[in-house]
Structure 1
Amino acid sequence: MSEQATNGQTSVDEEYEHHGGFPKFTAATPGPNFGPFIEAMRTLQDLAVSIDAPDDVLAEARAQAEALAALLAPYEAKEGEATGGRVIGLPGRGSLLMLPWMIEKFDAEGVRSRGVFRRYHLGGNAAAHGGVLPLLFDDIFGMTVHAAGRPISRTAYLHINYRKVTPLNVPLVIEGRVDRVEGRKAFVSARLTDEAGTLLADSDALMVQLLPGQQ
């Protein structure tokens, strides 16, 4: 069982191990090539959205991409068994969907993560696409309720204030915390800043604990 902070005190949430209809995930410990493989795939994502290549080069790249897909297809695993998303020590936990950020703090007081938005996340004029910020905030909120000892929850609402343009390739910091708990409801908030502390965006959300069997 995990512990959570409530009004400055630490308490045990008796429902922490209840996962609704979710399977119970465990951390993955892949071999040394998985991390570099994921980074290479991220680089390919960056290039795929930024190149201006002749068609013969694209034909060769397509053939290599299709060959890679054929190589990996026999090893497709179901949710909870695939390596991606379960490697805590990798950026984005080894998931290409998640932003390639690293967790620096993970406890009942809150979660802090640091990273950059890459070329793949470009929205326009050297700024991150506004649509990737909800992904970043939603991910930090999921980790925040987990770190606070709350059972698995779903996002009921998520509100974002875009305070300034969010740049690419600049080190940024996001910090989330649980503000208050009301039964199955956890009200959470987070701030995205640059390393100098300039506020770029902030968010608040409601995370609702799943009932038994809920997805």
Structure 2
Amino acid sequence: MENDDARARLVEAGRALVDAIGRTGVDDAALTEAADRLRSVEALLRAIEHERVPRITYDDAVGMEAYSWQRWNVVLPHLEMRFDGIKGSAELPEGLNELYEGPTGLLHGGISVVLIDALVTSLAQFHGLRNVTAGLTINFRKPTLLHTPLTVEAVLEEVHDRKVIVSGSLVSDGKTTVEATAVLVRVER
């Protein structure tokens, strides 16, 4: 793939742009000008494009102790995941901002679910268990504040033929705010 540093700079700029779009209060003329400029940038970037957002493959992730989830996706939170035996974790040291807000000042519950689902399925994948989520039971224990350090945790609990059970949690500033139990189903290629 192309230079990772150049793509990382582009993705960082894209995330900053998405944040600016969400927060802007400029007038209609400036909004129209910005939209026109963005269409020009879009045309430049679409000159050569991948079929999908580049990411690690299932097979490459098996046994990999650390890798990035959604590193190149501008709209999803980027997780640096780490795996050690039956445990997995990911850190968001600055937490998430208002782009992921539900109630004022709080993380949207659906984003919590996305973070946990990403880690629990990746932990199974780390063990070579190609899977999809069949069920996810969520317990929202406390509100999760924005701009607060987050840790996503997962533990591989059981493997039965095609069924895999993984527990997960979201920890905000040292306090567990969301707990989950995932039922994953192993799938063939």
TM above 0.5, yes or no, is yes
Q: Is the contact between residue 130 and residue 188 of structure 2 (CA under 8 Å) also seen in structure 1?
A: no
The residue type equivalent to 1:208 in the other structure is V
Alignment of structure 1 residues 22-41 onto 2, 5 Å: 30-41=3-14
The CA RMSD over aligned residues, in Å, is 2.1
1:33 aligned counterpart, secondary structure = helix
2:40 is equivalent to residue 61 of structure 1: no
In structure 1, the partner of 2:60 is none
More helix by share: 2
Instruction: Note closer, same or farther for the CA distance 1:45–1:56 as it changes in structure 2 (3 Å cut).
Output: same
Superimposed CA distance per residue, residues 15-70 of structure 1 (whole angstroms, 9 cap, x where no aligned partner) = xxxxxxxxxxxxx5733211111111111122222222211110111011111111
How far apart are the structure 2 equivalents of 1:156 and 1:194? 26
Check 1:179–1:106 CA distance in 2 against 1; reply closer, same or farther (3 A cut): same
1:47 paired residue number: 20
Aligned-residue offset at 1:107 = 2.8
Offset at residue 94 of structure 1 (A): 2.2
- The one-letter code matched in structure 2 to 1:107 is D
Counterpart position of 1:200: 177
Q: Which has the higher contact order (CA 8 A, sep 6+)?
A: 1
Q: How does 1:152-167 map to 2 (within 5 A)?
A: 152-167=130-145
Task: Write the deviation string for residues 108-151 of structure 1: whole angstroms up to 9, x where unpaired.
Answer: 2211101121221111311111221111111111211022x132
Contact 1:193-1:201 within 8 A present in 2 as well: yes
> CA offsets per residue over residues 58-98 of structure 1, 9 Å max, x none?
0111011111111111222124xx43x34976673222343
Number of the residue aligned with 1:96: 74
Structure 2 CA distance, aligned partners of 1:89 and 1:209? 21
Question: What residue in structure 1 maps to residue 97 of structure 2?
Answer: 118
- Percent of aligned pairs sharing the same letter: 24
**1:4 matched residue in structure 2:** none
Q: Distance in 1 between matches of 2:187 and 2:35?
A: 43
Structure 2 residues not aligned, in runs of 5+ = 58-65
TM-aligned CA deviation for residue 194 of structure 1? 2.1
TM-score norm. by structure 1 comes to 0.76
Unaligned residue ranges in structure 1 (runs of 5+):
1-27
Partner in structure 2 of residue 135 of structure 1: 114
Q: Return the alpha-carbon distance in structure 2 between the equivalents of residues 90 and 61 of structure 1.
A: 31
Alignment partner of 1:177 is 2:150: no
Please give the alpha-carbon distance, in whole angstroms, between the structure 1 residues aligned to 2:155 and 2:124: 8
Give the length in aligned residue pairs: 179
Partner of 2:83: 106
Is the CA contact (8 Å cut-off) linking 2:87 and 2:153 kept in structure 1?
yes
Q: Any conservation in 2 of the 1:98–1:135 contact (CA below 8 Å)?
A: no
Partner of 1:18: none
